[in-house]
Amino acid sequence: MLMVLEERDGGIFAGDVRVFACTADGRLSSETRKALRLYDERLRLHTCRVCSRRFIGHHSRHGCSDECRKVVAQRALEKHRRPRRIKPEPKPARPRLSQCSNCWKQFEYKRDSRDYCSNACRQAEYRSRKAA
């Protein structure tokens, strides 16, 4: 439901019915809703964001016509669209070196918790501790 209004004689009119908004958010007065036979509580008195005409529409509507609604939607897209950020090239990974606790050989690791260069060294260290 969309109704474009006209301003005349110092008021806003829909046909010959004077339109009153009873709250700051544009809710229509009960007398206005009864006179216009509008029973939806969500209808509000709006000002078009594009052409500044007054209209009665759903509480989330911001344009008085399909053309104005498209312009409002396009403006919203442009406002929220950000320029794409170019990702920097990843730095080359430095080899992380550690020394095996069993054979004292240097090896490359991926996790900091790695103490042995291989499973064989890990098991050999375990068995030597177990035997002692």
Q: For the segment 22-63, what is each residue's pLDDT rounded down to a tens digit?
A: 777 788 778 888 888 888 888 888 888 888 888 888 878 888
Task: Please report, for the chain, the start and end positions of each structural domain, with discontinuous segments joined by +.
Answer: 3-59, 97-131
- Pairing verdict, β 6-8 and 11-14: antiparallel
DSSP-assigned beta bridge partners for residue 47: 54
Half-sphere exposure of 85 (CA within 13 A, CB side): 3
What is the reported pTM?
Answer: 0.51
